[in-house]
Amino acid sequence: MKLEDRVAVITGAGRGVGAATALMLARDGARVVVNDLDASEAEATVAAIRDAGGEAMAVAGDVTGADFPDRLIQSALDGFGGIDILVNNAGYIWNGAMHNHSDEQWQAMLDVHATAPFRILRALAPWLRETAKAEIAGQGAARCRKVVNVSSVSGTTGAATQIAYSAGKAAVVGITKTLAKEWGRFNVTVNCVAFGHIDTRLTQAYDGEPPVIEVDGRQHRVGLTTEQIDAVQRTAALGRSGRPEDGAGAIYLFCIPESDYISGEVLTCSGG
């Protein structure tokens, strides 16, 4: 129970890596605030945590909404009294060759992958700063808190057909390294996990017509062909795609006390 008495806020936690992370942190004692665009998926993750004996609450909503960051942070503070771990995980893909990218497509990827985490962290800042200052004044040191931002190897090494997505995920790395320097004095570690191929609905295998997901009323093609996935698996040292639990495990490493002196780092979770 390494995370007992800790409160974790996780965006995009209704499915995939986010849901697996919520379950993993709850298993270790954290009370979890589950966000997802789809309220039913957020509630399903909350139900799974509660069924396993944990505590959780759902805050459904679009992370790109102008009023959402304040609502998310305040809901967590009202519901559980504090925030110790924040995982910026929400996102989706909207791929296409660079010459086919529209301004809308470019902005959508920056909004969800870079602007939304920035705004959520900015919304957290007032409570975090005042709380840490009070702890330092009263106890001599602030409680160690954790921020984990989710990036991608597309953001660290680039990826064809993902120029907007890659730009957004590269921005996450810059946000991470900068905030680690700013918030270190408040005893906050800020780290980043860059995922390779993790088997989720965004990267699901298909033959024929690609599957689609709906975001804000627009349908987006997702998934990879069987041939593409075979090629990815051949390049991975471990010879397979990652599971959501593999991705959650990488995030978990930055949430536990053993990583209290690690900050500003990018961990690649790609199977080698």
What positions carry a catalytic annotation? 165
156 near 268, Cβ under 8 Å?
A: yes
3-state helix, strand, coil in the chain (%, to 5): 50, 20, 35
Gap between the Cα atoms of 101 and 208, Å rounded: 23
Cα separation, 186 vs 179, in Å, equals 11
Round to whole Å and give the CA distance between 115 and 251: 21
CA distance 25 to 215: 27
SS3 56: strand
Residue 106: other Cβ atoms inside 10 A? 17
